[in-house]
Amino acid sequence: MPSSSLVLPILFQLSAFCPLETDFNASFSRAVERGHPHHRKPDPSPPAPPEHGSYDQTAFSECLAAPTSPLYNGGVLKNPAFDADLLGWSPFGGCTLKIQVQGRNKFLVATNRNAGFHGPSQALANLTQGSKYTLSAWLQVNGGSDDTAPLVKATIKANGQYISAGSVAARNKCWTFLKGGFIPEFNASSATLYFESSDPKVDIWLDSVSLQPFSDEEWSKHQDISIKKSRTRSVTLSVTDCKGHGIHNADIQVEQITGDFPFGSAIASTILDNPTYQKWFVTRFNTAVFENEMKWYSTERQQGKVSYETADKMLDFCKANNILVRGHNVLWNDPQYQPGWVKDLSASELRTATMSRIESVMSHYAGKLPQWDVLNEMLHFNFFESKLGSNAAVEIYKFAQEIDPETTLFLNDFNVIEMKAAGIKKLGIGLEGHFSGKPNLVYMRAVLDKLATLELPIWLTEVDIMNSVDSENQAIYLQQVLREAFSHPAVKGIVLWTALHPYGCYRMCLTDQNFKNLPAGNIVDVFLKNIRTVGLSGTTDHEGSFSFQGFHGEYEISVTHNRTSVIKRLAIGPDTDSQTIHVLVS
């Protein structure tokens, strides 16, 4: 049992003769003393170093004055921190490598680079097809100006092919952490890892590099460990009589009624007036997003004629079925998705129209949507900045926050730190997750590790697999993405982009038009079972205890002894404190 899992003592009393008031506290303290040595005991020893084969989630988003030591002691790399000077390292292309010392730290400098791909490299003995290679390094560029942050990329050359292993915008005068990885599609008896930067004028500084391969079995074990730690809780039920004596052989049935993890899909207005679709949806999902119905081009086709009628109906349907709705989106930074009339506005008219849109839609839904995509796809497009000035995004987020301070304002990517500095308090990161083919799970996990350091809620908001992939492989890849996302502790919700229309779906459908599962639908149904505690029952031990590992959510627990049954509801969450449930049966 990982030390972070907690024991939740729950006391059932099954006796007609227990005086309620007096026994309550006494029984609780006895239960704690007797049965549960883990409970609330201060951890006597520091955390053990990671076991062999375990995954290191360490990542940094700030630029540091000095690098930390290499993850996995460098893994399969030789001389990963340059303690043995240049041993194992050589120039890739035309450049000069040298060792430099700063304080007590030795690192490598690649200078006199003549082309983007010139940089430091190390030969690898072999690559194994399908292995998951996680890579990390500390980087700095010396020679650029202070404000530019040229991209430094890690690349693997093998069998004449170039495999991208990650990149980072490296800074001058402080160290930036690169985390990435790759999965080779072939075996190679030799390969080269090298670092490059498209700007040949900069020197590349490198330190504390690591390359650690994991097998599929190890990767899957990391996921299991992480799911257990971040999505479940160890629970101990304690069934005693009124004297505090454990009742042996009481029957326990554990049923999870709701799951805390938000998992859902996009829906479209096609769900309204379609009871089959509605039933199919509500029996699976606790979260929804509206594909287009809240977008500006849908709610204000003509300037000044605002209608939320369709979106309101969809929201009513969701509310009635306890389905959480993400707001999507207040504004979209892609110029082609503006309402037609917006394109012809002058800058000052656009400013007025923009503020009025934010005010209108966010006050209409204030208090009803726990999160809003505010300026959708702002890293890819800049419609509003181009017309209203470079500060437009910050102004838009600030205004949105004023109108609905309770909702979490989502960005769709990781250009988040400036927004935080700009004083946005409730910010979240929405990662769309439209995969074009086989997902690179090593890279995905590395990016999540890095984003996790920002300590903001992260959601996968529009997950699908491109339909150029056949439906069997769509399903396999979807399964991989869902499991990887669910196993990452920083991921707080997953929403699929699978709204069903008469013509099909954007890229991936879960069912056909008759709600018969397609392969991706089967994957979703299996995933839904795997994120819930199902079919759990047993009997108490001689001390009256029954323990289980439960996914976070609402439970109904029934305890039967001597033909007497009690049923209790109970919430199990990451922050659930120990609970005592007092039951008196007569």
Query: Which residues contribute to the site for ligand NAG (CB under 6 A)?
Result: 15, 22, 24-25, 76, 125-126, 128-129, 187, 213, 241, 247, 562
Return d(Cα 262, Cα 326) in angstroms, integer: 11
Burial track 89-113 (b if 16+ CB lie within 10 A, e otherwise): bebbbebebeeeeeeebebbbbbeb
Return d(Cα 248, Cα 240) in angstroms, integer: 9
Look at the chain and count its residues: 586
Q: Which residues on neighbouring strands pair with residue 267, listed in sequence order?
A: 290
Cβ-based nearer residue to ligand NAG, 559 or 570? 559
Q: How far is the CB of 55 from ligand NAG (least distance, A)?
A: 16
- DSSP per-residue letters across 126-160: -B-TT-EEEEEEEEEEESS-SS---EEEEEEEETT
Q: How far is the CB of 121 from ligand NAG (least distance, A)?
A: 17
Closest CA to 436 of 472, 464, 471, 475: 464
Q: Which residues on neighbouring strands pair with residue 442, listed in sequence order?
A: none
Closest CA to 138 of 47, 54, 60, 229: 60
Cβ-based nearer residue to ligand NAG, 255 or 543? 543
Cβ-based nearer residue to ligand NAG, 313 or 438? 438
97, two tokens: 């490598």
Cβ-based nearer residue to ligand NAG, 516 or 563? 563
Tokens 């002894």 belong to 561
Cβ-based nearer residue to ligand NAG, 125 or 526? 125
Q: What angle do CA 515, 506, 377 make, to 5 degrees?
A: 135
Cβ 12 vs Cβ 251: under 8 Å = no
| Alpha helices, DSSP H, located in 49-102 | none
Helix (H) or strand (E) holding 474: helix 471-487
Cβ-based nearer residue to ligand NAG, 22 or 164? 22
Cβ-based nearer residue to ligand NAG, 188 or 518? 188
Looking at residue 253, its amino acid is Q
Q: Based on the number of CB atoms within 10 Å of its own CB, is 34 exposed (0-12), middle (13-18) or buried (19 or more)?
A: middle
135 φ, ψ to 5°? Answer: -125, 140
Q: How far is the CB of 413 from ligand NAG (least distance, A)?
A: 33
Cβ-based nearer residue to ligand NAG, 212 or 299? 212
Cβ-based nearer residue to ligand NAG, 19 or 275? 19
Q: How far is the CB of 382 from ligand NAG (least distance, A)?
A: 43
Q: How far is the CB of 25 from ligand NAG (least distance, A)?
A: 4
Count CB neighbours of 339 within 10 A: 17
Q: How far is the CB of 247 from ligand NAG (least distance, A)?
A: 5
Helix (H) or strand (E) holding 361: helix 347-364
Return d(Cα 387, Cα 354) in angstroms, integer: 11
Cβ 396 vs Cβ 331: under 8 Å = yes
Return d(Cα 70, Cα 68) in angstroms, integer: 7
Q: Exactly one of 196, 300, 462, 484 is catalytic; name it.
A: 462
Return d(Cα 120, Cα 97) in angstroms, integer: 7
Cβ 371 vs Cβ 408: under 8 Å = yes
Cβ 203 vs Cβ 142: under 8 Å = yes
Q: Exactly one of 377, 385, 418, 472 is catalytic; name it.
A: 377
- Asked if 418 is an active-site residue, the reply is no
Q: How far is the CB of 238 from ligand NAG (least distance, A)?
A: 14
Q: How far is the CB of 187 from ligand NAG (least distance, A)?
A: 4
- Asked if 462 is an active-site residue, the reply is yes
Return d(Cα 223, Cα 53) in angstroms, integer: 12
Q: How far is the CB of 248 from ligand NAG (least distance, A)?
A: 9
| Active site positions, annotated | 377, 462
